[in-house]
Every structure is written in structure tokens, then in C-alpha cells.
Amino acid sequence: MTYTDAAGIELKNTAEQRVEPIAGNTLRLTMDWNIQSFVTQVCLELMEEKQANEVSCIVMNPQNGEIYAMANVPEFDLNRPFELPEGTTCESEEMRQDLLNKMWRNANVSDTYEPGSTFKTVTAAAALEAGVVTFNDTFSCPGFYIVEDRRIRCHKVSGHGSETFLQGIQNSCNPVFIQVGLRLGAERFYSYFEQFELLEKTGIDLPGEARTIMHDPKKIGEVELATISFGQSFQLTTLRLLTTISSFVNGGHTVVPHFGMAISSFDGTSTQKIAYPQGTHVLDEAVSAQMRECLESVVAEGGGNKAYIEGYRIGGKTATSEKLPRGTGKYISSFVGFAPADEPQVIIIMTVDEPQGIYYGGTIVAPKVKKIFENILPYLNL
């Protein structure tokens, strides 16, 4: 055998040299195959039950950001990435490509949405930290609250009547949170978005992370402030929200969500741990304890009661956000929960896009998060 150049001229001194392959290193991940499989199964179950567009879920350790599972359904077969889910119809090649692009995306990381009432955790944390409200402060909810020329309704049209701030959290009462947001004021509230790192990417070790879409602080009037306070008129990712809520319940420090744990040599003789930036303190520890307390009461006594598990302390918050344009009857339902409530080791967020029929997060999503907790808490010896 001889070697030639591009012109066909024989090359000399080209004796074959062979380099033997070297075994590569092993990347160790935080993902747990058993948890991932079960979470995906629950997501598929919920999507089919509610005939939803898609269901997404993340399971994470709120203390250090280790991700145990991240699911998006419908998903695709990596061996057949150009096959759309069975039963999908396409009117054009352009529509088919759009569906493929959507299918390939990691919704938890790359897609933003209006979070709705799960964002009330942010309003509560900021208000408690700023000292503008206490659990015992009283409010009145007649079923709506008027801000400038807007009549903003509560999900309970007849109203909740007189209630404390803690009861407002348990009831997920919009008028209560509007008033608390107005107490904070736009400038101070926005400063907490920065303090809680809500406007920054989480730094997850995956590509394609989207950034929060928030109002220009100079253009936040009372109406915008009111809608922000209960989680609408802006967008963020489920990953960003989950990471922020983790800092509210873990004692007040930030975490970097991640999959990479360590790199081991092929023969197992050496292991290099993957380091992530140390967390910064963003919330007073006493306020973090209050957040754990009030979110546990949401599950024990409030709208998140369908996530309650006998013998466990579960904290959480429900959400049902109306999609744009308003009035179309399309919603994103969600629930975020953590356990054990006194010292959280697992935190879960699950979202459902356009569920059919009953669509309230506390009714359709909380029971599925409960099912995941029932399965994985004993598995993790918690």
C-alpha cells in the first residue's frame, strides 16, 4: 500500500503509524436512573389523563443543587430523533420542523412561562425580609382588588373575606399579594429580584438556558407591580424559579443546579470532583425559617393539601396561570413542593401546559408530586 497526495504523486517515508486507543474518563452524574424513570412515568400519566400539550418536572436537592431527575414529555427517541410522537399530524413541512424543534427543546431550561402563584413565594420572601408585613397582618378580600383603573379578581370570585397574611398564602389570595406588593413598591421589589438572582441565569451545566423576561424597572407602574406580585406579566424558566425557591427554604443561600458530579479515570485510580461556585447569602435565615413554616401550612391546611403525606412534613405552593392572550381558557398548572419541610433535602417542580377539563394546580398537579414524594422519599431514606 502506498500513499499519494491530492495530485496522485506517490509520497515517500509514509510508513503506517498506529496509535492504540486509550480508554476515556467516566463522567459521574447526579441524576438517579430510578428517580428519572419514575418521574418520566408520572409525567406521561398526567399528560395522558389531562390531554395536555406537555408536562415538565425537575427533582433537585435544594441544599446543593444536585439534580436527581429532569423530565419533559412528550419526549423523543434519541435513536430516531426525526420521528414525531405517534398520532401527530402536520399540514406542512414547516409545521413539522416547528414540532421537531419544540420536541428537541428542554422546556425546563430553555422555555419561559408566566409562573402564576408559585411566584408568590418571591413576594412573600421579599415582604418578610423588608419587614413590610407579618403573618398576623390582616387583609380583606371581597373577590377583587382595584388598582388604578383595573379591577383584578381573586380566583375565589366571592372573596376570602377577612384573612391574615398567613391565611392569604394558604388561600393563594391575589388581593392580599397585590397589597403586599404595593407596600414593597416597585423600586424595592425590583431590588429583591436582583438580590434573589431572579434576573440571572442559574449557571446549570447544560446549554440553551433562557434568561428571565422582566419589565424595565422604570416602567413598572402600580398595575404592573400588582400583576408581578402574583406571578403574571413576566416570564422565567421553571429551573430559575425552582433554584430561587430553593434558596428560600435552605437557610437563605443560592445554589447552582447541576448534573456533573465528578470525573473518574478509566481505571478508577483517580477521581476529580467538579466544583461549582459557592452559594451567596440572599435571605435572612430567620425569614427562610418563616418561609418553610408558611409553605408547610399551605400543604397541611391550604390549597396544596392534595400533596399531604401522612408521616411526612411537606411544604409547597400551587399555581394556575392563564396564558396569553387572556380569555382563551388556556392555562399552565403547576406545583412546587419540598421535603422534609423542616430541613429540605428534595424539592420538586412540575408544570402542565394546557390541561383539559379541571386545570387547577392544586387539584391536578399536587397529587402527582405527592406520588413522586411517596416513591422517592423512602428510596432516599428520608
First to last CA, the chain: 66
Closest CA to 202 of 239, 250, 245: 239
The helix (run of H) or strand (run of E) holding residue 157 is none
Say how far apart CA 119 and CA 319 lie, in whole Å. Answer: 8
Among 56, 117, 172, 246, the active-site one is: 117
Say how far apart CA 134 and CA 127 lie, in whole Å. Answer: 8
Is 288 one of the annotated active-site residues of the chain?
no
Compute φ and ψ for 100, nearest 5 degrees.
Answer: -65, -45
**Alpha-carbon distances, residue 232 vs 133, 157, 180, 305, 360 (angstroms):** 21, 18, 15, 24, 16
Proportion of the chain in helix, strand, coil states, percent, rounded to 5: 35, 20, 45
**Is residue 156 within 8 Å of 143, Cβ to Cβ?**
yes
The burial of 105, by beta-carbon neighbours within 10 Å (0-12 exposed, 13-18 middle, 19 or more buried), is given as: middle
**Is residue 360 within 8 Å of 379, Cβ to Cβ?**
no
The burial of 70, by beta-carbon neighbours within 10 Å (0-12 exposed, 13-18 middle, 19 or more buried), is given as: buried
Phi-psi region of 2 (alpha: psi -120 to 50; beta: other; left: phi over 0): beta
Annotated catalytic sites, by residue? Answer: 117
